[in-house]
């Protein structure tokens, strides 16, 4: 029975943010060991600090040196950097915290690539202090896309009530229009369809596609991208029997809760999709990177320095990220049968 449980790697993130707190809170209920084997990629010193701060001193982690020593009956911890001089200062941005986050991310990625773990759940990073010669990415999504040599990936925010993907992710708003073309839209829509089928077990997914411009262009009055780019792509997908609809004006679509009638929504840019998603699903939302050969999820929140170390952070999104990773691993295996 033990060998059939997926091994889920969980990376530390920025240790001065709420990452360590939500990890500990999510894993302290040992019932999670019934469905997976957790392996934290972090630091004994950091988690010792937060265990004391959260009064979890009676709950122990199984310290191991490598993934080969994993114990399926316990929550495991691999220390990924020299933490003897680590100064944990919740709420403070430090270069050391960025270096630690990167070391944990790289170690976990190596184990994921080798097949030693089944999925990665990433705690929040600070996108500035993690930058280095080996990490020059705007976020985790782009990092994993390159690490697993994917031609393209999809930032896919998922919850029990809403799934939202974005055509363009972490790019300046001024570059969005030039980044959206028929090829890019075709790639993202294909990734969403395949993910819904293989990762979420929806055999005939129904997708809503949003317009780029206000009022979805107002028949060309407010922009012609809907006519020249979006509609032609949707027509091609419809000819192949896919249930794709749109383009919808984003404000009315979410305002009237039309998303309830679809399995997923494809937004044109980051804030168009993530603002309504986080408003509707902030407590249980999960960021999933679709289109990779590997499984990667994360909570849909950031480092939240303002509440770090105060024992007020909710572990709900982290728990859902772990559950989603387990479900996707299971669904992918079933899709191969």
Query: So where are the chain's domains?
Result: 1-150+292-337, 152-285
pTM of the model: 0.94
- Within 13 Å and on the Cβ side, how many CA atoms surround 38? 28
Quote the pLDDT of residue 1.
44
CATH of domain 1-150+292-337: 3.40.718.10
Please indicate whether the domains covering 1-150+292-337 and 152-285 agree at the CATH topology level: yes
For residue 334, give Cα distances in angstroms to 9, 71, 150, 229, 330. 21, 26, 22, 36, 6
Each residue of 310-322: b (16+ CB within 10 Å) or e? eeebbbbbbbbbb
Question: CA of 161: how far to CAs of 135, 268, 324, in Å?
Answer: 34, 20, 14
The CATH-assigned architecture of domain 152-285 is: 3-Layer(aba) Sandwich (3.40)
* Residue 83 near residue 33 (C-beta atoms within 8 A): no
Lookup result for tokens 């749109």? 246
- Write down the pLDDT at residue 3: 56
Q: Which residues of the chain fall short of a pLDDT of 50?
A: 1
The first and second tokens of residue 247, run together, are 């383009």
Other CB atoms within 10 A of residue 150 CB? 17
């Amino acid at each position: 029975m033990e060998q059939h449980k997926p091994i889920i790697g969980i990376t530390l993130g920025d240790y001065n943010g709420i990452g360590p707190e939500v990890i500990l809170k999510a894993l302290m209920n040992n019932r999670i060991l019934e469905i997976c084997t957790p392996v934290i990629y972090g630091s004994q010193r950091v988690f010792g600090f937060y265990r004391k701060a959260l009064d979890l001193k009676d709950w122990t982690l199984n310290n191991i040196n490598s993934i080969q020593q994993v114990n399926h009956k316990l929550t495991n911890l691999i220390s990924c950097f020299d933490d003897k001089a680590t100064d944990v200062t919740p709420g403070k941005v430090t270069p050391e915290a960025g270096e630690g986050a990167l070391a944990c991310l790289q170690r976990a990625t190596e184990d994921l690539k080798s097949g030693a773990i089944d999925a990665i759940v990433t705690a929040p990073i600070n996108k500035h202090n993690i930058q280095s010669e080996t990490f020059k990415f705007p976020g985790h999504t782009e990092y994993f896309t390159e690490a697993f040599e994917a031609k393209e990936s999809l930032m896919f925010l998922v919850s029990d009530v809403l799934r939202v993907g974005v055509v363009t992710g972490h790019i300046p708003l001024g570059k969005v229009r030039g980044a959206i073309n028929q090829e890019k839209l075709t790639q993202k829509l294909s990734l969403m369809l395949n993910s819904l089928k293989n990762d979420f077990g929806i055999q005939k997914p129904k997708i809503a596609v949003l317009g780029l411009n206000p009022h979805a262009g107002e028949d060309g009055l407010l922009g012609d991208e809907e006519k020249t780019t979006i509609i032609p792509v949707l027509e091609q997908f419809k000819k192949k029997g896919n249930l794709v609809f749109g383009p919808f004006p984003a404000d009315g679509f979410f305002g009237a809760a039309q998303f309830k009638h679809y399995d997923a929504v494809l937004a044109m840019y980051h804030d168009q999709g993530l603002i309504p998603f986080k408003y509707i699903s902030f407590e249980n939302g999960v960021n999933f990177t679709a289109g990779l050969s590997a499984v990667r999820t994360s909570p849909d929140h950031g480092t939240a320095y303002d509440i770090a170390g105060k024992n007020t952070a909710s572990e709900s999104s982290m728990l859902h990220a772990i559950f989603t990773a387990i479900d996707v691993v299971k669904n992918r295996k079933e899709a191969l049968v």
